[in-house]
Amino acid sequence: MLVNSKEIVLKELLDRYIPQLHMKCTCRVCKNDVLALSLNRAEPAYVTDKKKVAYAKAEMVDKQKNTALLVILAESAAIVSVNPSEFCETREGA
């Protein structure tokens, strides 16, 4: 098993902080776009077993480590809000 633990952590942070990100649209497509942008910008942290994923998740309670990821999420959310994907489910005139 090979997993980018950042993917799991960023997913959790996105779900937890979505009200604070003030996204124009929070459909499945826009949320995935924010996640993809964020993952491209965050340093990947691959792990090879489930225990290490659990450890990475446990580290999320460490607010200092989260701050950098939350900044990345906020910046990505702003980009997607300004420029939503053509596949956005609520995009007008699509």
Q: Which residues bind Zn ion (CB under 5 A)?
A: 25, 27, 30, 88, 90
Q: Cβ-count burial of 6 within 10 angstroms (0-12 exposed, 13-18 middle, 19+ buried)?
A: buried
Closest CA to 77 of 37, 28, 27, 29: 37
Q: Which is nearer to Zn ion, 67 or 90 (CB)?
A: 90
Q: Which is nearer to Zn ion, 4 or 85 (CB)?
A: 85
Report, in Å, the least distance between residue 92 CB and Zn ion: 11
Report, in Å, the least distance between residue 88 CB and Zn ion: 3
Report, in Å, the least distance between residue 60 CB and Zn ion: 26
Q: Which is nearer to Zn ion, 62 or 92 (CB)?
A: 92
Contacts (Cβ under 8 Å, ≥6 apart) of 85: 29, 30, 33, 91
